[in-house]
Structure 1
Amino acid sequence: MSFLSPWFLLGLLGVAIPVAIHLGRRQKAEKVVLSTVRFLKNTPPKMIFFQQIQQWLLLLVRAAIIALLAIAFARPFLAQSVSAGAGLSPRSLVIVLDTSMSMRYGDTFDRAQKAALEILGLLRTGDEAALVPFSDSTGPVTELTTDLLQVAASVRSLDSAGFRSTNYLPALRLADQMLRAARHPDRAVYLISDYQRQAVTGYDNRWQLSPGIAFEGIAIGAEETTNLAVTEVKSPVRIMRDQEEHVIIGRVRSLGSQSPSDARISLLINEKIVATQNVDLTDRSEAVVTFPTKFSKRGIQRGAVTVEDENFAPDNTFFFTINFLRPLAVLGIAQASSAKVQADATRWFQSALGRGGESPFHLELVRPREFTGDGLAHYDVIALFDVAELTSSAVARIAAYLTRGGSLLIAPGNRVKPQSFNRLFQRLTPAALEQKYVAANGDYLSIAGIKRRHPIIKALGFSENGDFGAARFRGHWLTKPVAGSHVILRFDNGAPALLEKQVGRGRVLLFAFSLDTQWHNLPRQGMYVPLVHETLHYLASRKPIKPSYTVGEPVPMHLPAGNAVRVTAPEGAETILTSATEDTVYFRTTDRPGYFTVRGRQTQEILAVNVAPAESDLTFVAPEQIGSALVNKTRRRPDAANPFIADHAEKSQRLWWWILLLVLFLGLGETLLANRTYR
C-alpha cells in the first residue's frame, strides 16, 4: 500500500490523545465512612470485569477512529493494483498472422500457427490479445480480449493460407488502431510471417506504429526454397477465323533460393495437353517458350501453360482464355429509292465495321419493303438507317425480338416522317421525333453533355481516342424523351443526341441524326469507328473480357436492369450477381487461381484467374529490415491519457472512501458504547 499524501500520517500521533484521556480519567477508590454496611450489596466480580473490558474496547475504538482519519486523509492506494493498471504487469498485444500464398510453401503456415499459439501460451491472466490474419488485406479479426482461449481458437480455425499476395500495411495499421485503445500501455505487435523479400522491399516505411507500441518480428520462412513458376503468358484475346496459326508465349522463372537445372513446360487447351517442351535452366533463372497452335472449335477456349514442380504447386499453372468468336451479326434496314442513295446511306457504317474475314462484324442489308421480320433470332443487333416506313407486322416482330433480349439501333435521317415514325415505333423508341433542327447562317452544334459513366462512353477511352470536340453538326432531330428513357449524349443547345430505353430484356438506342454525312462530319472523325464498334458491342452485350485476371482483382460485368448471372468458382462455390438498374457490377471473390464460369440469360463467359507473379518469389529477409522502420521512438504520453488506465487508477484510489465510511460506523459505535460504559 502507498499514500498520495503521506504527511497526513503524522496524524497517527493523535492516537495518544484517547490513551491519555483514558488514563487520566481513571477513578481511584475513595474511602467512605459509613455507620453500617448492612444495607449495601457487594459488586459482583463479573460486572467489574465486564466494565473493564468495555473501557478498553472504548479506548481502542477511539484510537482507531483517529488512526483511520489520518490514514484516510493520506489517500492510500494499492500499489499492486495501480502497477497492473499502468501496464507494468498485464500486457496488450496483437498477433498479425500472414496468410498470403507464399505461406503455403511446405509446412510454413503450420509453423506460423504454432508460433501464434506459443505466444498466447506465455500470457497470464489479465493480459489481452487480438488476432489479425492478413494477405493483401485483413481477414476475419478477433478483437482485443482477455479470453485467451477464444483467440487461440481463432488461430486454430484458420485452415490454411490463401492465394493472395502480401501487403503488410493494412494489417499493421489495424493492429496499431486496436492497440491505441488497449487497456494496458505495455503494448506490442507480433508479426508472424515468412518476410518475403518483395513484400518487405515494397513496404512504405514512411508509416510507423504509434509511440509506445513495440514490434516483435517472428520469421518462419524456410531457409532453402525451390520454386518454378509460370509468371506470364501472351495469347490472342479473340480469334475470328478457324485453322489460323497463332503463337502462345509463356515465361517460366526460378524464384527460390535454389534453382533446378531444367524444367518441363506444357500447353493445355481445354484441359488437353497439345504441346510440351523441355528447357535448360543451368545458366539462367528464366526461360521463354513459344507454342504455335491452331483453333477449330468456336466459343471460349480454356488455355493453360504449366510447369512441372513438386515443391510449390499454386504457381505452376498460368490460366488464360481465348474467345473464338463468330462475327457479331447486324441486320441493317436501309431506306433508299435507288442503289446509289442506299450505298451512300450505309457506306460510312459499312466502312466502320470493316470488310472481309478480319472484321468482328457481319452486316446484312435489306430494304424496308423486303423486311418480313423472319429469323431475327439469328441477329445480335437490328439497325434502322433512315427508315420511313415498315409494316405493322414487321414492327411487331421487332418488338417481340426486343422482349426476348434483342437490340435495336435507330438512326433517322432526312427521309423519316415524324408522324409516321412516332406511330410505328411509339412502344419502342426512346424519344418521339418532333421536327428537324437546322443551324442558320453556317452555324453548327457540337456534343457538350456526356454521361461519362455509361458503358459506351467509358469504353471509348477519351484519353486515347479524343472526344467529340471536332465533330460539327449542322442539323439534327428535335426529340421528346419518353418515360423510362435516359440521355447519353447532348448537343450544346441542350437537345438530346443519343438516347437509350429498355424494352423487355432488350435495349434500344436512338441517334438524333443519321450515321452518314447528311448533317455532320462525325464519320470523318477518329471517334466514329470506335463509337460504332462500342455501340454495337454494348447493344449485343458482347464486351470483350480480359484473357486473365489476378487473384483478388475485381471483375466488371455489365448487366441489364433486372438481370442476374451465376458465377461458379473452381471449387464449386456459387455467387449470384444481380443488377436492379442498368449498370456495371463487380465480382470480387476471385480468391483462388483457376477458371470461374459465368452464366446468365444472355451471358456465358469463363474467367481465368492467376496468382500474383510477385507472390511466387520465395526469397526472404530478416524481420529487422521492416521492424527498424516500424518502431516509433517518440516518447509516449503519460498513461493517464488512456481512459481505461485512468479509470483503473481512480478506482484503486477510492480506498479512502471506504475508510471514512468505516470511521462513521465506528463513531456511532463509540457513542453507544460510551453511554453504556459510564451510565
Structure 2
Amino acid sequence: MSLLTPLFLLGLAGLALPILIHLTQRERRQVVKFPSLMFVRRIPYQSVRRRSIRNWLLLMVRLAALALVVFAFARPFFTGGDLGASVTGAREVVILLDRSYSMGYADRWDRAAAAAREVIDDLEAADRATIVLFASSAEIALRSTAERDRLLGALDVAAPGGGATRYAPALKVAAGVLGESSLPRREVVLISDFQRGGWRGEEGARLPAGATLTPVRIDGGDGPNLTATSVSLSRSTFSDQERVAVTASFVNRGTEPVPPRAVTLEVDGRVIGTAQVEADEAGAPSVTFDPFTVTGRTMRGTVRLADDALAADNVFHFVITPSEPVRVALVQRAAGPGADPYLAQALAIGDEPRFETTVRTPEALSDQDLARASVVLLVDAPVSTALARRLEAFVARGGGLMLATGPRSSWPDDVDLLPGVLAEPVDRTSGVAARVGAIEFAHPLFEPFRAPRSGDFTAARFYGYRSITAAPEADVLARFDAGSPALLERRAGQGRVLLWASTLDMSWSDLPLRPVYLPFVHRAMLHLSSYREPATWRTVGDVLDSTSAGDRVEAGLVALTPSGGRLSLDEEGAAVFELTEQGFYEIRVPQAPDAETQVTAANVDPAEADLTAMEPQELIAAALAVPSAEADAAASAELSPETREGSQRLWWFLLLAGVILLGIDTLVSNRLSRA
C-alpha cells in the first residue's frame, strides 16, 4: 500500500489529544453542602491515582476515528497488479453480435442471442453495456447503458442480415466505445461463428490497453449446403424479338453430396421454369432454363432453391433489361454496292451488344444521323470544314469518332480535333510489308488481347499507311515496326477520337483476314461509345451510384429498399448509398410517377456461405496486441499513483468509517457523562 499525500500523516500527532483529555483532572459534579465556608481557602485536591485512564473503550474509539480521518486525507491506495481492479467492479462491456447471413444457418442465431442475454444478465448494478451488430460494417444498436430492459429490447429486434462477416469494423467500434468510457474495467464479448473469411489481419483493429476480449463461438450443425452463386444471360433474336436463356450456377459448400433438389426460375413474380439440381461433395453444378421473350421494360428475375439449413444463399436475384444497341454511323465514299463490305459485316455480327449501323457518304451525313449515333466511323474519305465542325460538336457532346485513313483521307487544318496531323502516305508494297510492333496492352481497347493466344496483331501485313505527327495531348496506343504511330487517341470535350493510320479494308492491308480484325473493330466501337454492360446484379455491401439514373437527383430522387424503407438521395447532394439488404432496390422520383424506375438486384456474397471457421485466439492476439510505444505508455499509466488512487477511492471508505466512529464516540461520551 502507498500514500498519495503522505504529509497528512503528520496529523497523527493529534492522537495525543484524546489521551490528554482522558488524563485531565475534572472536579466532581456531586456537591456536599456545608455551613458557611467563606473564611476557608479552596485548595485543589490532587490524587495521582485519578490521573490514570479509566475509559479505555472510549479512548480507542476516539483514536481510531482520528487515525482513519488522517489516513483518508493521506489518500492511500493498493499497488498490487490486480488488486486495484478488484476493488471497483464497475465494467464497460461491449457486446459484438455477428449478424452476417451465415448466422442464419440452422439455430446459430438463436444460440447467439441467448449468449448475449447471458452477458446482459451477468451485469452488476454499476456496469454499463453497449450492443454492436456487425456484418460487413458495424452499427451501434444501443450505446453504453445500465438499463437491462433496453438492452434486452435492442437484442429482441435484432436479426441476421444479408452482409458478409468482417471483424475489423466491429473491433474498431468497440475500441471507440471503450476509449470514451470512464469505468476502470473494459471488456469486449465477441459472439460469432468466427468465419475464416471475416478476418484478414487488419492492423488497425486493436482494443485499448487493459481491455479484455472474450470470444463466444457459435458453430455446429454442419451439413449439406447448396449455394446459388451467379446467373448468366444468353441473348438471341427470334422473329424480331429478343429472347434470353438464364443459366444458374451453384456450389456445394457442405462436406456431403447434395441429393436432387428443386430449383425454379421466377420472372416478375411468376414461375416460368423448373428444374432439378444435385451436387457431389464440393461440386459446382449449373442449370439452364428455356429461353423467354424480353419485354420492353425492366424485368425482375429470381432463381430459387428449395430451402435448406441456410436459406439466405438459396435465392439469387437479377435484372433483365432489353439490350440497347451501339449505334454507329459508317461514313465512307460510296454508300451503295461499291461500299466496303468488311466493316458492315463485322458490325452486323455483334450480339452482346448489337451494333446498329447506318451507312452514309460525307455529303449525306445529316444532323439527325449525328444525334442518333454514338460513334461515327469515317473511312478513307475527305472531310470538309463544315463537316469537321459538326463532328467537333458531336465529340464535344460525348460522341466517339474514329478515322481510318487511306489515300483519299483529308482533314481541314483550321479544325483542331484529331490526335495527329496527317502527312503523305508511306508505300510498303515493294519489299517487306509493315507490321504493328509496340502496343499499349494496358489500354482498355487492347486489354482483351493481352493474354496469350488471344490475338496476334503482328501477323497482319500493311502495304501502306499515312505518316502521322502526334499532337502533344495525344496518346499513341500502337506503332508500326518503323516507329510511326499506328493508332492514336485524344480526348475532346466529353468524347474521344481515334486515328487509325491505315485502312480497315483490303486496299492497304490484310487485317480484315486476320482473327483480330473483328474483336478489334468491336472493341474500338465500344470504347468510343463508352459502353458499359448493365449490371445484372450487385452484392450486398456494394455502394450504388444513383447518378446513373441521370440528373434526377435534383428532383427528389428516393430509393426504396427490399424491406420497404425509403432513402432520400438528394439530401446534401448525396447520390450514393450502400446496399445492405438482399432483394430489389428501386430508384424513382415520387413527384413523377411516369418517370422510369431504376431497379437494382442485390445478392448475398456467396463466399460467406463457406462456414470454415478460424481459431478465435488468432483474432484475440491481433486485437489485444499493443505496439511497443503504446505498451510503454500503458505501463506508465498503470503505475501512476494518481490513476491507481483515483480508481480505488479508498479515502472515501476511510472517511466514512471515521465519521461513524466519531458518532459512536459522541453517544458513548454523553452516556458516561450522565452516569
Q: 1:385 Cα shift?
A: 2.6
Q: 1:542 Cα shift?
A: 2.8
The equivalent of 2:162 in structure 1 is 163
Q: Any conservation in 2 of the 1:77–1:655 contact (CA below 8 Å)?
A: yes
Match of 1:641 among 617, 636, 642: 636
Match of 1:509 among 489, 497, 500: 497
Residues matched between the structures, number: 594
SS in 1 for 2:616: helix
Q: 1:284 Cα shift?
A: 11
Q: Any conservation in 1 of the 2:234–2:245 contact (CA below 8 Å)?
A: no
For 2:451 and 2:107, the matched residues in 1 are separated by 49
Q: Any conservation in 1 of the 2:235–2:352 contact (CA below 8 Å)?
A: no
Q: Any conservation in 2 of the 1:406–1:540 contact (CA below 8 Å)?
A: yes
Deviation string 1:492-546 (CA, Å, 9 cap, x unpaired) is 899992112236xxx3424274554899998898876555423322443431245
* AA of the residue aligned to 1:475: S
Deviation string 1:630-661 (CA, Å, 9 cap, x unpaired) is 454999979753479764325479979x99xx
For 1:354 and 1:382, the matched residues in 2 are separated by 16
5 Å-filtered alignment, 1:448-487, equals 456=444, 460=448, 462=450, 475-479=467-471
Deviation string 1:135-187 (CA, Å, 9 cap, x unpaired) is 133334766x4666798389459643210122335434654676578656644
Residues 380 and 249 of structure 1, relative CA distance in 2, 3 Å threshold = same
Residues 414 and 140 of structure 1, relative CA distance in 2, 3 Å threshold = farther
5 Å-filtered alignment, 1:268-287, equals 268-277=266-275
Q: 1:334 Cα shift?
A: 1.5
The equivalent of 2:615 in structure 1 is 626
The equivalent of 1:436 in structure 2 is 423
5 Å-filtered alignment, 1:62-211, equals 75-78=74-77, 89-104=89-104, 109=109, 112-113=112-113, 115-140=115-140, 145=144, 152=151, 155-156=154-155, 159-172=158-171, 175=174, 186-193=185-192, 195=193, 199-200=195-196
Aligned: 1:499 with 2:496: no
Q: How big is the alpha-carbon RMSD for the aligned residues of Structure 1 and Structure 2?
A: 6.5
Aligned: 1:380 with 2:368: no
Aligned: 1:533 with 2:526: no
The equivalent of 1:672 in structure 2 is none
Match of 1:542 among 502, 523, 531: 531
Match of 2:604 among 611, 633, 637: 611
The equivalent of 1:33 in structure 2 is none
Q: 1:99 Cα shift?
A: 1.2
Give the % identical residues: 24
The equivalent of 1:415 in structure 2 is 408
Q: 1:408 Cα shift?
A: 3.9
* AA of the residue aligned to 1:231: A
> If the length of structure 1 is used for normalisation, what is the TM-score?
0.63
Q: Any conservation in 1 of the 2:487–2:498 contact (CA below 8 Å)?
A: no
Q: Any conservation in 2 of the 1:569–1:597 contact (CA below 8 Å)?
A: yes
Q: Any conservation in 2 of the 1:266–1:273 contact (CA below 8 Å)?
A: yes
SS in 1 for 2:363: helix
Match of 1:366 among 323, 340, 360: 360
SS in 2 for 1:641: helix
* AA of the residue aligned to 2:604: V
Q: 1:330 Cα shift?
A: 1.3
For 1:586 and 1:105, the matched residues in 2 are separated by 35
The equivalent of 2:666 in structure 1 is none
Residues 16 and 615 of structure 1, relative CA distance in 2, 3 Å threshold = closer
5 Å-filtered alignment, 1:284-323, equals 289-295=287-293, 297=295, 302-309=300-307, 313-321=311-319
> If the length of structure 2 is used for normalisation, what is the TM-score?
0.63
Q: 1:371 Cα shift?
A: 3.0
For 2:149 and 2:20, the matched residues in 1 are separated by 62
Q: Any conservation in 2 of the 1:230–1:318 contact (CA below 8 Å)?
A: no
Q: 1:96 Cα shift?
A: 0.8
The equivalent of 2:265 in structure 1 is 267
For 2:300 and 2:257, the matched residues in 1 are separated by 30
Q: Any conservation in 2 of the 1:451–1:488 contact (CA below 8 Å)?
A: no
Q: Any conservation in 1 of the 2:468–2:485 contact (CA below 8 Å)?
A: no
Q: 491-500 vs 272-281, which deviates more?
A: 491-500
For 1:575 and 1:448, the matched residues in 2 are separated by 50
The equivalent of 2:662 in structure 1 is none
- The unaligned stretches of length 5 or more in structure 1 are 27-37, 46-59, 660-679
For 2:470 and 2:457, the matched residues in 1 are separated by 19
* AA of the residue aligned to 1:502: G
Match of 2:215 among 217, 220, 225: 217
Q: 1:305 Cα shift?
A: 1.9
For 1:288 and 1:147, the matched residues in 2 are separated by 52
Q: Any conservation in 1 of the 2:199–2:619 contact (CA below 8 Å)?
A: no
Residues 558 and 447 of structure 1, relative CA distance in 2, 3 Å threshold = farther
For 1:280 and 1:480, the matched residues in 2 are separated by 60
